[in-house]
Amino acid sequence: MMHDTRKSIRRETLLRVDNLVVEYSIAGNTVHAVSGVSLEVARGETLGLVGESGCGKSTLGRAILQLRRPVSGEVVFDGHDLVAMNGDTLRRMRRRVQLIFQDPIASLNPRRRIGDIVAEPLVIAGVKDRAERERRVHEVLSAVGLDPGLVAGRLPHEFSGGQCQRICIARALVLDPEFIICDEPVSALDVSIRAQILNLLEEMKARYGLTLLFIAHDLAVVKAVSDRVAVMYLGRLCEVGPSEQLFARPAHPYTALLIEAIPQPDPDVRPSESVPIGEPPSPISPPSGCRFRTRCPKADRRCIDEMPELVPIAPGQLVACHHPNF
């Protein structure tokens, strides 16, 4: 059973991304990974970021942390522009913003013991007192449901995928951050383990007062954990809104198709046949105007000529579409 710690109260903005652009080159071609994305995350909320594989979700998450430097735009965290930071200034700010990777096993150094892996952020942050580091490592390992005495001296290959993800969560928590980017944290796990990790993230959010950006392609998971949802397609946001509202009344045709594609655990329910077939266009050469137009049943000449911008269509809900479903 999922724990629901979500609240409807609006809080102050902790993270603001303004017109962020991320591009990189592959074989002489420019990949338009993130194209002018703007969003806000309120302190204490969970913003779900969804979209097909290759739409730029993970790149956006890494650009927020400045692991991938953007071409232009701003990433303002608690009033400080991370894009303008370098060196020690950026390193100190990163203590407040951490990342949980998609593949828990691959993100752990196979040659280092768990206690050293979880303690490494403290070493980098300059915590020189060994006893203090051990105390904090034991605290976070216990918080994520692992016995420090049994875990700290062992190697990553001795643990299951779910246990490794608990270790990764502990590593993200050890610096006592305020904001955590969860980059598809359950997609590499067995279905039976996913609910445990999602419950753990909700518990850690409540215990440590965290703000989360939850990146996923599984809309059912996003609906369960998110206060608001941002839908991304080919490097751009196409819809943002409160979770329940967006799932009940999706305004963008792409959002509606994603929701239709959620599998129903009922053999008598026929899958929808309206979901478009084929791959999305290449981010090397995205379509003009609306990037979804090549797969959209509502596309017309305006969609070819004019790129839609995010505009309010209902309280708290914004959509970038010339022909929204409302």
Mean pLDDT of 206-223: 92
Q: Which residue has the higher pLDDT, 219 or 114?
A: 114
Q: Does residue 142 lie in a domain region?
A: yes
Q: Does residue 16 lie in a domain region?
A: no
Q: Does residue 211 lie in a domain region?
A: no
| 266-275 pLDDT, tens digit each | 677 666 665 5
Q: Does residue 233 lie in a domain region?
A: no
| 28-64 pLDDT, tens digit each | 899 999 999 999 999 999 999 999 888 999 999 999 9
Mean pLDDT of 178-207: 91
Please give the residue range of the domain that contains residue 136: 110-176
Q: Does residue 120 lie in a domain region?
A: yes
- Return the SS3 of 123: helix
Q: Does residue 242 lie in a domain region?
A: no
Q: Does residue 140 lie in a domain region?
A: yes
Q: Does residue 158 lie in a domain region?
A: yes
**Of 11, 6, 68, nearest to 34 (Cα)?**
68
Number of domains in the chain: 1
- Comparing 144-148, 171-175, 185-189, the range with the smallest average pLDDT is 185-189
| 100-116 pLDDT, tens digit each | 998 889 999 999 999 99
**Of 81, 141, 78, nearest to 113 (Cα)?**
141
| 140-152 pLDDT, tens digit each | 999 999 999 999 9
Residue partners of 229: CB distance under 8 A and separation at least 6: 47, 48, 49, 50, 222, 223, 239, 240, 241, 242, 243, 246, 247
